[in-house]
Amino acid sequence: MSDKTNAERAAEANIEHEKLLEHEYDGIREYDNPLPSWWTGIFIATIFFSVGYLIWYHGGGPGKSEHDEYRAEVAEYIKRAAAAAAKAGPVTVGSLKKLAANTALMGTTQATFTKHCVVCHGSQGQGKIGPNLTDNYQIHGTTIVDLFNTILNGVPAKGMIAWGKVLKRHEVMSLAAYVFKLRGTNVKGGKAKEGKEVASAK
């Protein structure tokens, strides 16, 4: 195979020179080469994908947006909470005392108490910011149903939130039963009595 002629080499050099961009940085000049075909293909594909995505999720397509998924999850949560509340049954002295007698349930409810109640009432219910739950005195009402209503609706004047907005109804019922079961344990170092004297749970 013969070497390239001077004319051919000159033509190639001229083509290469025409590809050079005008600007120069520290003696370095850039070629005006086209982008690789694979890169261009990916770029075009992303444009088509974005158009399809927009139509699918935001242009009336069947896809669900994050807002739609959130609303669906909230609706499902409300549905399950309502089913759990119906399963728990009515709130009566008898139904709550029945829960208090369920040893396994009270064991799991202790975790709920630890998570939400110890900050104000202490790890054993001895009272801190909130009242002592282990003596035979009750500030709001006198019955176990009153305990349920206090937990459910809270006591804003005392800084206690309405746990019914945080916990499910059956969880509030179990928590009321757990607090009722603490009554009369009189743990050491408990706060002074507050409220009306009531019968012990023991």
How much is the pLDDT for 181? 95
* Closest of 93, 109, 105 to residue 201, by C-alpha: 93
Q: Residue 187: exposed, middle, or buried by beta-carbon count in 10 A (0-12, 13-18, 19+)?
A: middle
Burial 142-163 (b: 16+ CB within 10 A, else e): eebbbbbbbbbbbeeeeebeeb
Comparing 22-36, 95-109, 183-197, which segment has the lowest mean pLDDT? 22-36
What's the whole-number mean pLDDT along residues 144-168? 94
What's the whole-number mean pLDDT along residues 172-183? 94
What's the whole-number mean pLDDT along residues 94-121? 92
What is the tens place of the pLDDT at every residue in 124-150?
999 999 999 999 999 999 999 999 999
pTM given for the model: 0.57
User: Could you tell me the domains of the chain?
Assistant: 1-63 (no CATH), 90-197 (1.10.760.10)
What's the whole-number mean pLDDT along residues 38-61? 88
Comparing 47-51, 82-86, 115-119, 174-178, which segment has the lowest mean pLDDT? 82-86
How much is the pLDDT for 1? 45
What is the tens place of the pLDDT at every residue in 52-107?
888 887 777 776 777 788 888 888 877 776 676 666 678 899 999 998 999 988 99
How far CA 66 is from CA of 42, 48, 71, 73, 104, in Å, comes to: 26, 22, 9, 10, 39
